[in-house]
């Protein structure tokens, strides 16, 4: 039986007499502290990954591309799109893995971040990708 099932069973049996503070913990303090640190680091890295994609998108100037010939411009746009799509796919994979790691309030925060990330991806695809190019995240 999983920990969450046992926790709910324990809570229902104990009622209001006991309040569980941590959703997950270890009997060894060092492991518990390491797990907490890992969760915190994973959330911080997730935030940095999202910021990196935003920076790449912000720094790519479409206006300056008017100076390039058609072949160069198309090549750069294709590289930009491919890079951003691979980045977004990586971001979704990372979100999925972090979701497995975190619980409780942290998971709720992550869910809100995922929704915002999905909105950014949708804006990118609708504004900067051609229709019908199978741009769904994997």
State the average pLDDT for the chain.
83
Q: For the chain, give the number of residues.
A: 138
Q: CA-CA-CA-CA torsion for 90, 38, 106, 17, nearest 10 degrees?
A: 150
Its pTM stands at: 0.68
Q: How confident is the model at residue 14 (pLDDT cuts 50, 70, 90)?
A: confident
Mean pLDDT of 105-121: 91
Position 112 scores a pLDDT of 93
Q: Which residue is it, tokens 């925060």? A: 109
- Cα–Cα nearest to 137, from 91, 101, 77, 97: 91
Mean pLDDT of 43-66: 83
Q: Which residue is it, tokens 């915190």? A: 40
What radius of gyration, in Å, describes the C-alpha atoms of the chain?
21
């Amino acid at each position: 039986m999983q920990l969450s099932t046992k926790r709910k069973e324990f809570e229902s049996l104990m009622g209001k007499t006991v309040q569980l503070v941590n959703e997950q913990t270890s009997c060894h303090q060092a492991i518990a502290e390491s797990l907490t640190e890992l969760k915190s680091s994973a959330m911080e890295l997730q935030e940095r990954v999202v910021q990196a994609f935003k920076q790449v998108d912000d720094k790519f100037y479409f206006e300056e591309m008017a100076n390039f010939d058609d072949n160069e411009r198309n090549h750069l746009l294709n590289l930009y799109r491919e890079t951003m799509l691979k980045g977004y796919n990586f971001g979704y994979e990372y979100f999925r893995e972090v979701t497995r790691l975190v619980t409780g309030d942290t998971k709720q925060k992550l869910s809100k971040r995922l929704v915002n990330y999905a909105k950014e991806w949708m804006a990118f695809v609708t504004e900067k990708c051609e229709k019908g190019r199978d741009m769904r995240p994997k």
